[in-house]
Structure 1
Amino acid sequence: MDTNGRRRYCHVRQEALMNPADDLARKIEAIRRMLADDEPAALRSSYLADPSQGRTVLQGSTAPALVPAWNQHPSGLWVPGSAAQAPAPIDLMAVYLTAEEIYGVTPPADYTTRQLQRIPLENVLRFCALVLTALAMPGTSARDVDERFANDLLQGRVRDRVLNLLRDNTRRFLVPQAFMLLARAAVQMSPDTVPQGTQPGDLVGALLCISQTMGHHPDSGPTVIADRPGPLGREIIANQHFNHTWSVSGVLARYARRWLELPAEHRAETGVVDLSQTYEDCTGVRLEELAAVAGYLWMRTVQGTFLLEHAELAALNIPPERIEGVLALISNDLTGMREAVQREQPQQLTEWSFDPFERWPVIRLTEERLLILDPRHLVNRAFGWLPIWDIRFPPPGHTKPSGHKKLAARAEQTLRHFSEVYVSEVLHHITQDASTARRVYDDAQLKAAYSAEGQRIADAAIDYPGTWIVIEVTTTQLRREAATAVPDESQTEDIDKLIEEIDQIDATINALRQDEAALTKAPATHPRRFQPLLVLPEGFPVNPVTLTVIRERARSRGLLQQPDINPLEIADIEELEMIEGIQETSGPSLLEILRSKNAGTLRNAGLREHILHGMGLTPPKPARHAALFETAMKPLFEALPPPTEHAPAT
């Protein structure tokens, strides 16, 4: 043993022979130094320490740590733990696994085509429907679905590799876009049947090969976003538009109010048409029948059944010919789907184009079976905006009513008007607490107050202490080319339409700044700030790209640039309803939520992302949704057969 070793041995022997009392005193002194030796003597008698579980103190002191934890960023910068945990927009994005990551090799470019040519089309569609239905189930976890199908579809080391990769919460195995692309490719390439003895194609490999290649573009354009989205921005906008999901209860509540109740309440209003009657006149199908049949199919998918016998529908209390009328609108057979996909113009076809599947969410298979490829498309088709499409383009063979084009235009304008009315109703629900000094001023009140010739007026203004929220509602939607990332100027042109709406907000802010009393009938007692809010009831992909482009294009027009104006925010109707639910549980106000978003790390993301991830809130559904859901589903409830009565057991 060397000299240093002998010294350590002797030291240990000496400690072992130490008096136990001295040893205890030494340990107590060590603990004292660790807990309090770094504390200045002047402090030891000047305050009382409150030691409690979970409360971090500075080492060598009883002083509580103001910052209990520090985290190191990948850059090496140390920041307070709370700051490191705040999400950024990129933290909300998931990255899908590719074939190269899973298999360790890059598959040949034609691998998907060669596999699909050896798989019957129906098999591919059933596979896609199985997964898309699982992902669309209410309350489902994408991570749980990923793990379930990784275990079901993969084996051995490949399965282990995928499960290990999925331990990263930002990775995804099953991507809805890839399944829609697989279904579209199968409609083009897969045969109805394959010769007996044919080696089956690799369906999972065909899917993963699509994941490997989708999203690859030779020119991603500029990486600095200014006043134009560019190729990369187009893809981000289309991605968010495709993956945006609505709560089914919200869709049905809005359907009941806009399509059924408001037309009846406003039937005497100039320009308003009865949407239910107009739908029947233009299609030969009653809205109640569409709701009952589509509602039944959706109910079955929620139960996990995406493939059902046509004969099931015969149990509904609806004449068979009326059921067929509904199916003629929302379903197509395999031959019809092939023809529809082949008719799509190549220059309009992108990795986000699935028009035939959205128009006909129900696919008729052989032997009188019905397949719902994606229940999201079914709900949107029957209860969203798309029934207007049926009014504008009646089914072949149905006689159009007299003056059809004008009637269809009035129907669409009626739906747009009632979308704005619905937003106003939600705003009134949000601000209905009479104990606070705030009030919603609607379009009519604003026009009465500011009636100068040429004065542009927003749709609403909410009076909060110290701040006006000025709101413009527009039913403008992304055109198909903009929503599917067609490489043209459609996205920029659609954004420019929004700039015209922002101009109305800016003009209303100027009017309020100059003469607030004209609206409130009371003198302004303190300076005001202004919060511009653009509401798009049908949704708009809000992200750092679109917000930057919109704000830059508004700045170039000199809009919303005064120092008393907060940054423009954009919301859809579901986000407003989330705030309505938050208000019903005494949560933060609309203004408080907008202020916290502007001060948070998700200031350039959507309002929904800030509420859920930035504020960590779980908004309940508004209380009024329950009655509206009942109204929307009443045709289904009335059409369902009575429950079978079983004889009592003996």
Structure 2
Amino acid sequence: MSDRHVAANLDRLYSLFCGDVAGKTESPYLTEIENGKPLISGTTTRLLSVQYVKRPSGIFVPDRVGVALAPIDLIKTYVTYEELVGVKSHLAAIIDALKKINTFQVIGFTSHWLARYYDPRVDHDRLDREFADLHFEGALHVRVTSFINEGRVLIAPQLLHAVAKLALMYSATEPSDPVDVGVLGMFPLALGDHLDQSGDIPDGENVTVDSDGKPGVLARHLISNQHLNRPLDAASLMASFSRRWREIPRENPHTDLGSFEDLYRTEVGIDLDELETVVIAIWSHVSLHHKSFIPTTYFNSCGVPPDRVVAVLSHLACTLDGLRYHLAKDIAELHGGFEWSIAPFERFPILAVDGGILVLDPRLLMRRAFGWLPYFDVLDKLNGEKRKTGQLRDYAGRVSEIYALEILESIAPRLRQSIFYEADLRLAYGVRRKVVDAVIDYGDRWIVVDVSTRQLMRESVAGTSSETVKKDLDTLVKAKAVQIQSTIDAIRNDEARLTGSPGNASAFYPVIVASEGFPVNPATSSMIEDLLRRENLLQGPGIAPVQIVDIAELEIVEGVQESGGPSLADLLERKRNAGLWRASLRDYIIVELRLAPKRPARLQALWQGLFQRVIEKVRPT
């Protein structure tokens, strides 16, 4: 921050703390005493500054905004070496230290703590304290414990991934004597000194969003941070995989491509049953035992022939040299991205080692197997065949849309026909009108929904490009907003053509379902609002701010409603005036409303069905 910025902030601070002598008052006192409005001691001068309170995030804010939750309360900040020791670490010294340590010892350290961190049963505060007890002694232990007591964190996935990447780049491959565990524990904190780019922001740059709708440095990093730390609901992921890539394609096979599992078997050479079984066996072992190394003999009892286990592991795993190559390639292609890009670990979440495998990150393994990467596996094997590639893209998009609409149908009111699909809208308003995938009728309120399978580009995920973030937003929001606006206009002009009876809709809630998620935060919300304002879309009276949700959030709403909670329309209406109105729907429901909905019955049946398939394959040891 420049000197002039500091001076300007001090001027503002000074003005907040200063006031004038009270003027004439009708009160019998020299100045009227009011609760919550203190005076400067010894004077009748009103203390114009507000009182400050500490938020759950640990940050002090004016008391007038300190009551309601705000997006800042969702942020956890990690402890750095400089904060702990008082002196900033030197990156060159970190690298020199890593050069003296065997790569596998460092990767073993990072993979162990990532396994602990992503245990579904974990208490992160307790885990931080265990990390502190193991790695720090004496005064350092006292100091680091005080940070934890203040709500700060020690274990941050970003830091552990950064240590792993730096070890791949610099650590020794030949055997070396094991280092003291305290040394390993210092590496994440020391790297934390060097991953904050706020000091590199040029003078005059808008750090959030500029006038052209492009995010600044801090906004880009907020997006990358939220994407990297997006929560994993393993049950939702497995249910989505089972329904989206297996059941729906079986029910609706492509005329030329067939079902997805047949296509995957043909192009990739692996059966989806084999993929499910091997990955669930690995994930269960890591989650239950916190052992990231798994010997080859472990797979003897997983019910899959040894040669097929090898085929699955060869597809998901990479050698040390191979991982180093992909890491260097990733950094070169992104022209940076070290802070946030974990693409090599996403593609290869398993490291092949002598006698077995090392699971680098169990969360990435689950996403690798049950997310969108199986689709990209097939796309890659098609090797640029334009016709088949185009067919697969359209087919995958359609299958994802069907799955999202099934959840919406489960959410919609059931007393009458309340959900209308694209075909219904086209029948009512004509094939030439732009319409959305579905609308839900709540009487005087409508939810207008369009589904997108658009995913953030690599540069957006890595935080290296403002242009790609803007392009992602334009592609996701602008085109969908045009369809939503057109649908709203049609319903307002003649609701009866759709429903068969006149209506008096007073409120519309635009919803974009980004099936693979999108980071919703104050920066992206501001960018969306500015974009829609410039395009004059969704600006009329009675139109709520557009909400971007993912599949897992729709399933949370489904669970809320099955538990007798508020409807989707009620949640969207209440969120408009909530403290977390610029945060995700998930955060609003779970953090601000403090609801803990059970998994919906539909989802339970899907993921348990997958688990049952795996159990039936497993032979007793």
SS at match of 2:519: coil
Choose the corresponding residue for 1:340, options 318, 326, 334. 326
Match for residue 284 of structure 2?
A: 299
Match for residue 206 of structure 2?
A: 222
Post-superposition shift, 1:404? 5.0
SS at match of 1:344: helix
Count, aligned residues: 557
Label 1:625 to 1:195 Cα distance change in 2 as closer, same or farther (>3 A).
closer
Match for residue 547 of structure 1?
A: 525
Match for residue 190 of structure 1?
A: 171
Structure 1 gaps of 5+ residues are 1-70, 395-399, 645-650
Label 1:513 to 1:362 Cα distance change in 2 as closer, same or farther (>3 A).
same
Give 1:562's aligned amino acid.
Answer: G
Is residue 370 from structure 1 mapped to residue 357 from structure 2 by the alignment?
yes
Query: In 1, Cα distance between the equivalents of 2:609 and 2:399?
Result: 17
Match for residue 37 of structure 1?
A: none
Match for residue 21 of structure 1?
A: none
Label 1:273 to 1:555 Cα distance change in 2 as closer, same or farther (>3 A).
farther
Q: Per-residue CA shift, 1:346-377, capped at 9, x if unaligned?
A: 351311111111111111122x1211111000
Structure 2 gaps of 5+ residues are 1-49, 54-59
Is residue 389 from structure 1 mapped to residue 367 from structure 2 by the alignment?
no
| Bigger shift: residues 456-465 or 307-316 | 307-316
Match for residue 516 of structure 2?
A: 538
Query: In 1, Cα distance between the equivalents of 2:294 and 2:599?
Result: 31
Is residue 166 from structure 1 mapped to residue 148 from structure 2 by the alignment?
yes
Contact 1:275 1:411 in 2 (8 A): no
Contact 1:381 1:387 in 2 (8 A): yes
Match for residue 520 of structure 1?
A: 499
Query: In 1, Cα distance between the equivalents of 2:593 and 2:188?
Result: 37
Match for residue 203 of structure 1?
A: 184
Q: Per-residue CA shift, 1:355-412, capped at 9, x if unaligned?
A: 111111111122x121111100000001110011211223xxxxx79x9553344333
Give 1:251's aligned amino acid.
Answer: L
Query: In 2, Cα distance between the equivalents of 1:262 and 1:488?
Result: 37
Q: Percent identity?
A: 32
Q: Per-residue CA shift, 1:105-154, capped at 9, x if unaligned?
A: 21223121011101100000110011101110003122111111111111
Query: In 1, Cα distance between the equivalents of 2:266 and 2:595?
Result: 45
Match for residue 247 of structure 2?
A: 261
**Highest CA radius of gyration, 1 or 2?**
1
Label 1:101 to 1:200 Cα distance change in 2 as closer, same or farther (>3 A).
closer
| Bigger shift: residues 562-571 or 178-187 | 562-571
Contact 1:86 1:601 in 2 (8 A): yes
SS at match of 2:258: coil
Match for residue 578 of structure 1?
A: 556
Give 2:105's aligned amino acid.
Answer: N
Q: Per-residue CA shift, 1:166-208, capped at 9, x if unaligned?
A: 1112x11111001001101101100112556999993223222
Match for residue 151 of structure 1?
A: 133
SS at match of 2:576: helix
Query: In 1, Cα distance between the equivalents of 2:444 and 2:393?
Result: 39
Q: Per-residue CA shift, 1:557-579, capped at 9, x if unaligned?
A: 11001112111111111111000
Match for residue 637 of structure 1?
A: 615
Give 1:234's aligned amino acid.
Answer: R
Contact 1:273 1:410 in 2 (8 A): no
Match for residue 265 of structure 2?
A: 280
Match for residue 325 of structure 1?
A: 311
Is residue 240 from structure 1 mapped to residue 258 from structure 2 by the alignment?
no
Match for residue 607 of structure 1?
A: 585
Q: Per-residue CA shift, 1:495-545, capped at 9, x if unaligned?
A: 110211111001110111111111001012x34221111111110000011
SS at match of 2:368: helix
Is residue 357 from structure 1 mapped to residue 339 from structure 2 by the alignment?
no
Give 1:289's aligned amino acid.
Answer: E
Give 2:344's aligned amino acid.
Answer: P
Contact 1:266 1:272 in 2 (8 A): no
SS at match of 2:601: coil
Choose the corresponding residue for 2:535, options 557, 568, 575. 557
Label 1:543 to 1:257 Cα distance change in 2 as closer, same or farther (>3 A).
same
Give 1:335's aligned amino acid.
Answer: D
Choose the corresponding residue for 2:571, options 562, 572, 593. 593
- 1:69-88 aligned at under 5 Å gives the runs 72-74=51-53, 84-88=66-70
Contact 1:420 1:473 in 2 (8 A): yes
TM-score where L is the length of structure 2: 0.86
Post-superposition shift, 1:77? 6.3
Query: In 1, Cα distance between the equivalents of 2:447 and 2:176?
Result: 67
Query: In 1, Cα distance between the equivalents of 2:604 and 2:538?
Result: 39
Choose the corresponding residue for 2:400, options 399, 411, 419. 419
Q: Per-residue CA shift, 1:82-123, capped at 9, x if unaligned?
A: x74321111111111110111122122312101110110000
Is residue 623 from structure 1 mapped to residue 601 from structure 2 by the alignment?
yes
Give 1:137's aligned amino acid.
Answer: D
Label 1:288 to 1:198 Cα distance change in 2 as closer, same or farther (>3 A).
closer
Match for residue 32 of structure 1?
A: none
- 1:2-151 aligned at under 5 Å gives the runs 72-74=51-53, 84-151=66-133
Post-superposition shift, 1:635? 4.1
Give 1:355's aligned amino acid.
Answer: A
Choose the corresponding residue for 1:440, options 408, 419, 429. 419
Query: In 1, Cα distance between the equivalents of 2:457 and 2:207?
Result: 24
Match for residue 36 of structure 2?
A: none
Label 1:561 to 1:291 Cα distance change in 2 as closer, same or farther (>3 A).
same
Query: In 2, Cα distance between the equivalents of 1:520 and 1:444?
Result: 13
Give 1:381's aligned amino acid.
Answer: R
TM-score where L is the length of structure 1: 0.82
Label 1:621 to 1:198 Cα distance change in 2 as closer, same or farther (>3 A).
closer
Label 1:278 to 1:364 Cα distance change in 2 as closer, same or farther (>3 A).
same
Give 1:182's aligned amino acid.
Answer: V
Label 1:385 to 1:213 Cα distance change in 2 as closer, same or farther (>3 A).
same
Query: In 2, Cα distance between the equivalents of 1:76 and 1:198?
Result: 43
Query: In 1, Cα distance between the equivalents of 2:340 and 2:459?
Result: 10
Give 1:418's aligned amino acid.
Answer: V
Post-superposition shift, 1:627? 1.7
Query: In 1, Cα distance between the equivalents of 2:186 and 2:52?
Result: 37
Q: Per-residue CA shift, 1:13-33, capped at 9, x if unaligned?
A: xxxxxxxxxxxxxxxxxxxxx
Is residue 175 from structure 1 mapped to residue 156 from structure 2 by the alignment?
yes
Contact 1:273 1:414 in 2 (8 A): no
Query: In 2, Cα distance between the equivalents of 1:105 and 1:318?
Result: 53
Label 1:413 to 1:339 Cα distance change in 2 as closer, same or farther (>3 A).
same
Post-superposition shift, 1:597? 0.6
Query: In 2, Cα distance between the equivalents of 1:274 and 1:446?
Result: 29
Label 1:456 to 1:309 Cα distance change in 2 as closer, same or farther (>3 A).
same
SS at match of 2:187: helix
